[in-house]
Amino acid sequence: MNKTAIVIGATGLVGSQVLNLLLKDERYSLVKVFHRRSTGINHPKLEEHIINFDEIEQWKELITGDELYSALGTTIKKAGSQERQYTVDYTYQYEVAKAAAENGVPKYSLVSSAGADYQSRIFYSRLKGELDDDVKDLPFDVTTILRPSILAGERNENRLGESVGMFFMKFLTNIPGLKKYRPISGETVAKGMINSLHKCPAGYHIFELDEIFHL
């Protein structure tokens, strides 16, 4: 195969793993990355675009290919406000997905979060749920949403909340019925995103927690 993949969020925990896996995968001849800064990777299959997400009208025609992988995200601490976090986690990802669909990209995979629910009273869960729900109406042939538990792996930034959560989850998952909430590596989620677009039939598919380990 000579497929073209598109990745946003390629320097994050999951996105960087998606990028590495795609570059090694012989089914793909080209991997397009759209980001604010360089990944620092030199590879013959990599086509890197340094862009401003606030100015998508200037580059959206470049969002073409066979599959879009969306793993963009930030924290409230890094963003500085709920409004800014919403812009990064919802607006940027939705606008890229919309442009990809308009450009004829047939398949789309999004990494969301456990507990995502557009009716939630929790801000983060609500914004994730809004995005999950809204991309359902975009005309992709296949859409897959992955909602993992706490992510394990090396990050470029220290997230104290996740570190504390990881510590407690390792103990809680020994309790019957809570195994599905065990931490999951960024690489496992990345593999799940790629495999989901190869395995799933046409339609909209959500994979929760433990289901991601089986993709």
104 beta partners: none
| Model pLDDT, residue 166 | 47
3-class DSSP assignment, residue 164: helix
**Percentage, residues of the chain above pLDDT 70:** 87
Q: Where are the alpha helices (DSSP H) in 72-159?
A: 76-79, 82-86, 93-102, 123-134
Q: End-to-end distance of the chain based on CA atoms, in angstroms?
A: 21
pLDDT of residue 181 exceeding 50, the answer is yes
Residue 68: count other Cβ atoms within 10 Å of its Cβ: 29
| Model pLDDT, residue 155 | 44
Class of the domain covering 3-150+185-214: alpha beta
- Give residue-wise pLDDT tens across range 40-63: 999 999 999 999 999 999 999 999
Residues in CB range of 210: below 8 A, 6 or more apart: 179, 180, 182
For residues 214 and 180, give the distance between their C-alpha atoms in angstroms, rounded to a whole number.
Answer: 12
